[in-house]
Structure 1
Amino acid sequence: MPSTLGELRQVMLGSIFKPEVPLGPTRDILITCHASATGKGKLHGSPECRILRSASSVNQIDTPFGEAIERLCANCRWPLPTDSPILALGAAVSDVDSLTIWLDRDPEDAEDVEAEHDAAIALSTGDYPPHTNDVGAEDEDDETGHDEEWERYDRARNFRSGRHSHWRRLHSYLTRSNEAVADYPFLAPWADGLQSRLTAVLDAERRAFAALVQPAHLLEAAAVRVLPTPQFSGDPGFAGLGAEAEKTFRRAWYEWSHRATWSWQRLEDQDFSVYTVVSDAFGRRRKGKPEAHAAFRQLTADWIRQAREEADRPATAPWQLVAVKAPALPRTRHSEPERDPLTPWEASVIATYQVAFNRKAGTAALLVPRLVAEQLLACASHDMPVQRLAPDGSALPAEALLEQWDHESLTRT
Structure 2
Amino acid sequence: MLSQGEYPQDEDDADTWKRHEEARACRDDLIALWRDVQDRLVMSAEGLAACPWLRAWAEDRMAAHARIAEKLRQAVVPFYTPRVLAEAAAVAELPEPALTPDSAFGIFGDDASIVLRKVWRAWRASARSDAKPLATAALSAEAELHEALGRRRKGVDEAKQALWQLTETWAEQAQLTAAEQSAGRPWRLIGVRIPPRSPYWQDESSHEALTPWELAVVAVYQVAVDWHKRAAALWVPQGIGDQLRTQESSMEPVEAVDLLVGAEDWAAPAAALLAAWEPSGHGTRI
TM-score (norm 1): 0.63
Residue 147 of structure 2 aligns to which amino acid in structure 1?
D
SS of corresponding position for 1:321: strand
Which residue of 393, 398, 401 corresponds with 2:264?
A: 393
Equivalent residue, structure 1, for 2:274:
402
Contact preservation (8 Å) 1:235, 1:295: no
Residue of structure 2 in register with 1:222 after alignment: 89
Whose radius of gyration is greater, 1 or 2?
Answer: 1
Is 1:310 the counterpart of 2:181? The answer is: no
Counterpart of 1:370 in structure 2 is 238
Report the Cα distance in structure 2 between the residues aligned to 1:357 and 1:332, rounded to whole angstroms.
27
- Return closer, same or farther for 1:231/1:275 CA change in 2, 3 Å cut-off: same
Name the SS for the 1:366 alignment partner. strand
**From 123, 128, 141, the counterpart of 1:256:** 123
Mapped partners of 2:157, 2:242: distance in 1: 38
AA aligned to 2:44 is: S
Deviations 1:45-92 (A, max 9, x none): xxxxxxxxxxxxxxxxxxxxxxxxxxxxxxxxxxxxxxxxxxxxxxxx
For residues 49 and 16 of structure 2, the distance between their equivalents in structure 1, rounded to whole angstroms, comes to 50
Is structure 2 residue 2 aligned with structure 1 residue 122? yes
- Which of the pair has the greater relative contact order for Cα pairs under 8 Å at 6+ separation? 2
TM-score, length of structure 2 as denominator length: 0.90
How many residues of Structure 1 are paired with residues of Structure 2 in the alignment? 278
- Describe the shift of the 1:319–1:130 C-alpha distance in structure 2 as closer, same or farther (beyond 3 A): farther
Q: What code does the residue aligned with 1:393 have? A: E
Q: 1:363 and 1:264 mapped to 2: Cα distance?
A: 22
Matched, 1:153 2:24: no
Give the structure 2 partner of residue 68 of structure 1: none
Map 1:38-57 → 2, pairs under 5 A:
none
> 5 Å matches for 1:286-305?
286-305=153-172
Task: Point out where structure 1 has 5 or more consecutive residues left out of the alignment.
Answer: 1-120, 133-143
Q: Which is further off, 334-343 or 305-314?
A: 334-343
Runs of 4+ in 1 over 4 A off after TM superposition: none
Q: Please give the secondary structure, in 2, of the residue aligned with 1:312.
A: helix
C-alpha RMSD of matched pairs (Å) = 2.2
Match of 1:322 among 177, 181, 190: 190
Q: How far does residue 384 in structure 1 lie from its aligned partner after superposition?
A: 2.4
Identity %: 33
Q: Report if aligned partners of 1:241, 1:288 keep a CA contact under 8 Å in 2.
A: no
Aligned-pair CA distance for 1:402: 1.8
Distance 2:216 2:155 in 1: 40
> Structure 1's 410 and 366: CA in aligned 2 closer, same or farther, altered over 3 A?
farther
**Would the aligned equivalents of 1:252 and 1:274 in 2 still touch at CA under 8 Å?**
yes
* Structure 1 position 318, deviation (Å): 3.9
The residue identity in structure 1 corresponding to 2:6 is D
Counterpart of 2:213?
345
Aligned to 1:284, the other structure's residue is in SS state: coil
Q: How far apart, in 2, do the equivalents of 1:410 and 1:185 lie?
A: 17
Change (3 A) 1:410 1:195: closer
Residue 358 of structure 1 is matched in structure 2 by 226
